[in-house]
């Protein structure tokens, strides 16, 4: 008979009685909300930040760039190095990084210091995103993994749809420094929430830690990473330059309304995926990719019809809302003993796509105008659909997950 070690028993989810751990999962969602808000908020407050730090808006925009660089640089190596740490202390360490970075940002009068703490915040984000999906999956029985990941990821569309606009409004009303101070206060509340409601789990035992190269070669890992990279790249080419696209379509003054439609549709999308992902991962991935493609096609051929634009934006938001849940659930299923390392690779792919989307979209805009967006997006989504469709054995299997 095999002897059960204490670390093994401690790793069993505490919810086998059938009670879904809503408080703990919503704490993870709140962590994601704060992460996205910390990342995106400066974009809406660049004039105020630049004036306060005595730099141009372009230089103030590098606060977003340094954050992304921190995430890209830290996700894989930091996750690999901390495999043996207990999960809750590691989660709290990542969350505390936001509290420290946002507090310093709120009081700093130095542009260089602010850049540095934004990099620190990005490092915390890279670690936290690598933890969330695997953490959520360990809190529930096998049959509820996808649903748990969907709940833990709901903070992302909430932050994009509601948090960033509200934060921008608040920052304009009370000052950008006070806004970052509010986020620090929310982070301290989150620390107490995690301590009260999120269970602790052991890290990976030495004999269960897999090297990065081995994880990368696990069947299914590479198709999921490619699908993530291509899908998110397609999204960011369009999303990053949505303002000039709408301006060319005569809706430049309605950008806020259009993004609200996108955000609401994204919330609906993540709800649908959360309900169905454990039984229909493959179908949802293919349908989401096809729906995004149809939305891009509509924007390309009828980009001057307001009703068509709103409808296409809604379809795009619906397709994108559950994307993170789909890709993270797929990786959680195939990563075996290395879920956090696999998720760190997804974080790197996701952030690389964000950065590449800004560069590629800018080149397309400068060289060909907004009319080039739809063909480029369609080409990427065709490749996404093909790889996901062919990954029927590993990655996005034909049979239900459970």
Map tokens 């950065």 to a residue. Answer: 355
Same domain, 309 and 357: yes
Q: Is the pLDDT of residue 18 over 70?
A: no
Residue 224 in tokens = 């999921």
* Domain end among 192, 208, 224: 208
pLDDT of residue 119: 94
Same domain, 327 and 351: yes
Calpha distance 383→386 (Å, rounded): 5
pLDDT of residue 21: 95
Residue 155 in tokens = 């903070």
Same domain, 78 and 122: yes
Calpha distance 196→212 (Å, rounded): 33
**pTM tops 0.85:** no
Same domain, 139 and 27: yes
pLDDT of residue 401: 53
State which residues form the domain around 170.
20-208
Same domain, 279 and 362: yes
Average predicted confidence (pLDDT) for the chain:
87
Same domain, 200 and 256: no
Q: What is the CATH number of the domain that holds 176?
A: 1.20.1250.20
Q: What is the mean pLDDT of residues 141-166?
A: 82
Which has the higher per-residue pLDDT, 338 or 324?
324
Q: What is the mean pLDDT of residues 38-53?
A: 85
Domain membership of residue 236 (yes or no) is yes
What does DSSP assign to residue 143?
G
b (16+ CB within 10 A) / e for 309-318: bbbbbbbbbb
The 10s digit of each residue's pLDDT in 246-292 is 888 888 778 778 878 888 898 899 889 989 998 999 999 999 999 99
Same domain, 38 and 111: yes
Calpha distance 225→181 (Å, rounded): 36
Same domain, 47 and 168: yes
Q: Are 20 and 212 in contact (CB under 8 A)?
A: no
Q: Comparing 4-13, 78-87, 187-196, 313-322, which segment has the lowest mean pLDDT?
A: 4-13
Domain membership of residue 1 (yes or no) is no
Same domain, 367 and 380: yes
Domain membership of residue 318 (yes or no) is yes
pLDDT of residue 133: 85
Q: Which helix (H) or strand (E) holds 115?
A: helix 111-138
Domain membership of residue 175 (yes or no) is yes
Same domain, 202 and 216: no
- Cα atoms in the 13 Å half-sphere on the side-chain side of 292: 35
Total tally of structural domains belonging to the chain: 2
Q: What is the mean pLDDT of residues 353-378?
A: 89
pLDDT of residue 6: 35
* Domain end among 142, 174, 208: 208
Q: Is the pLDDT of residue 394 over 70?
A: yes
The 10s digit of each residue's pLDDT in 154-199 is 888 788 777 777 787 788 889 999 999 999 999 999 999 999 999 9
């Amino acid at each position: 008979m095999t002897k059960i070690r204490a670390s093994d028993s401690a790793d069993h989810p505490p919810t086998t009685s059938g009670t879904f751990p809503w408080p703990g999962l919503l704490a993870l969602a709140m962590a994601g909300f704060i992460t996205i808000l910390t990342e995106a908020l400066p974009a809406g407050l660049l004039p105020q930040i630049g004036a306060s730090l005595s730099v141009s808006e372009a230089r103030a925009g590098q606060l977003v760039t340094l954050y992304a660089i921190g995430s890209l640089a830290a996700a894989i190596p930091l996750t690999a190095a901390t495999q043996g740490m207990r999960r809750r202390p590691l989660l709290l360490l990542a969350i505390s990084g936001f509290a420290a970075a946002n507090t310093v940002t709120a009081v700093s009068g130095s542009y260089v210091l602010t850049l540095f703490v934004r990099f620190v915040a990005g490092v915390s984000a890279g670690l936290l995103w690598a933890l969330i999906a695997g953490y959520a999956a360990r809190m529930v029985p096998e049959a509820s993994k996808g649903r748990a990941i969907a709940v833990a990821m709901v903070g992302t569309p909430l932050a994009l749809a509601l948090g960033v606009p509200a934060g921008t409004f608040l920052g304009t009303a009370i000052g950008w420094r006070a806004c970052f101070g509010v986020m620090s206060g929310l982070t301290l509340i989150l620390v107490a929430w995690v301590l009260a409601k999120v269970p602790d789990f052991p890290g990976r035992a030495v004999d269960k830690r897999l090297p990065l190269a081995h994880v990368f070669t696990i069947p299914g890992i590479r198709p999921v990473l490619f699908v993530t990279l291509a899908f998110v790249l397609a999204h960011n080419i369009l999303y990053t330059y949505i303002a000039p696209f709408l301006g060319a379509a005569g809706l430049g003054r309605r950008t806020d309304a259009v993004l609200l439609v996108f955000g609401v549709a994204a919330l609906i999308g993540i709800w649908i995926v959360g309900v169905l992902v454990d039984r229909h991962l493959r179908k949802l991935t293919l349908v989401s990719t096809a729906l995004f493609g149809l939305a891009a096609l509509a924007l390309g051929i009828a980009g001057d019809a307001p009703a068509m634009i709103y409808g296409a934006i809604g379809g795009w938001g619906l397709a994108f809302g559950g994307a993170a849940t789909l890709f993270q659930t797929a990786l959680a299923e195939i990563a075996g003993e290395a879920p956090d390392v696999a998720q760190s690779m997804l974080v790197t792919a996701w952030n690389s796509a964000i950065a590449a989307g800004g560069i590629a979209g800018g080149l397309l805009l400068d060289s060909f105008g907004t009319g080039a967006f739809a063909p480029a997006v369609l080409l990427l989504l065709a490749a996404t659909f093909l790889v996901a469709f062919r990954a029927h054995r590993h990655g996005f299997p034909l049979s239900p997950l459970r």
